[in-house]
Structure 1
């Protein structure tokens, strides 16, 4: 008799287009949609589309298939596309441990933001990079995230598109302090 061991990974799904622009989804409904896919330990954190779950899809192709399956299910059930950026708890912990904003002075007009990417930024988008209006600095990036310093104008984040049209992937952003709280909540599970 052979025994197989299944390894599960805890993921954080960073969702775009949840509870913005009139697209309201209660977290109970969102958790139910993830559970319908057979994902384990489904939990959510705040109303901005952060879902924790376990899955045995651990490799690159498995993760890509899982991402596509979640996106298709959410679009079918909600009626609009919801880009999904999956990261493991360990990946988010490593991202934060690298201190991508080390040395950046935080003032009342500065926000630190992690932009989770569906695909790496194109090589031609040199980093560090500053938006044409100077309100967004891209300090650096790795294949799954870009690190942004937002300079508020009149207390507002004016720039809607951070990257130029050469970037064709999806992006969803979280403030640094929110990402830290998301990671802490995911670890509690």
Structure 2
């Protein structure tokens, strides 16, 4: 039985690392993954596979992307149901949204360390991490002069050895809706 996945890629179409979505679809198809589709230019890939070892699948995708693109592309794999659980949590329900805030989901390669206490506030006051599940952390980013400050994924506890990639919460909701339109 196949599982439907969303691959959230880090380092795609930022910092001069441009990859056309057609090429990204080709790379995932070369791996034998089924129903490969992409959503917007920020590295969101939908596919299905009967592979059950998520760690091995992630490693295989990362190795193939690194070989083809010439740089590391961290991959956070989530099932469509797992992304639905994140959205259904509505982790920002208590946040009063203003034009100077951005709500972000940080997809984690591994859970935050045991004992991490929330909220976590940045020293400069430009973000707050409100909480987390084993696979995601929820950050409120405060714009300064209309710009994003420090990336909250770089400010997780120093004991966190994993990797992250961020998506705005409203984009995560749209990604989920698109993934469900198989």
In 2, the alpha carbon distance for the partners of 1:99 and 1:48 equals: 22
Q: Which residue of 2 aligns with 1:167?
A: 160
- Mapped pair 1:21 → 2:12: no
Please give the residue correspondences for 1:150-189 in structure 2 after superposition, counting only pairs within 5 Å: 150-160=141-151, 161-189=154-182
In 2, the alpha carbon distance for the partners of 1:112 and 1:41 equals: 30
Q: Which runs of 5+ in 2 are unaligned?
A: none
Moved over 4 A (4+): none
- Mapped pair 1:38 → 2:32: yes
Segment of structure 1 superposing worse, 40-49 or 167-176 = 167-176
In 2, the alpha carbon distance for the partners of 1:56 and 1:139 equals: 35
Shift of residue 79 of structure 1?
Answer: 0.4
Q: Is the 8 Å Cα contact of residues 136 and 162 (structure 1) preserved in structure 2? A: no
In 2, the alpha carbon distance for the partners of 1:171 and 1:67 equals: 14
Shift of residue 119 of structure 1?
Answer: 0.8
- Give the alignment partner of residue 97 of structure 1, picking from 82, 88, 95: 88
- Give the alignment partner of residue 130 of structure 2, picking from 130, 139, 142: 139
Shift of residue 127 of structure 1?
Answer: 1.3
Shift of residue 89 of structure 1?
Answer: 0.4
Q: Which residue of 2 aligns with 1:116?
A: 107
Deviations 1:65-99 (A, max 9, x none): 00000000000110000000000000001111111
Shift of residue 166 of structure 1?
Answer: 2.2
Q: Which residue of 2 aligns with 1:56?
A: 50
Shift of residue 124 of structure 1?
Answer: 4.8
In 1, the alpha carbon distance for the partners of 2:144 and 2:80 equals: 34
Q: Which runs of 5+ in 1 are unaligned?
A: 1-6
Q: Is the 8 Å Cα contact of residues 11 and 87 (structure 1) preserved in structure 2? A: yes
Task: Using structure 2 for the length normalisation, give the TM-score.
Answer: 0.96
In 1, the alpha carbon distance for the partners of 2:62 and 2:15 equals: 19
Segment of structure 1 superposing worse, 83-92 or 151-160 = 151-160
Task: Using structure 1 for the length normalisation, give the TM-score.
Answer: 0.92
Shift of residue 115 of structure 1?
Answer: 0.4
SS at match of 2:112: coil
CA RMSD, 1 decimal: 1.0
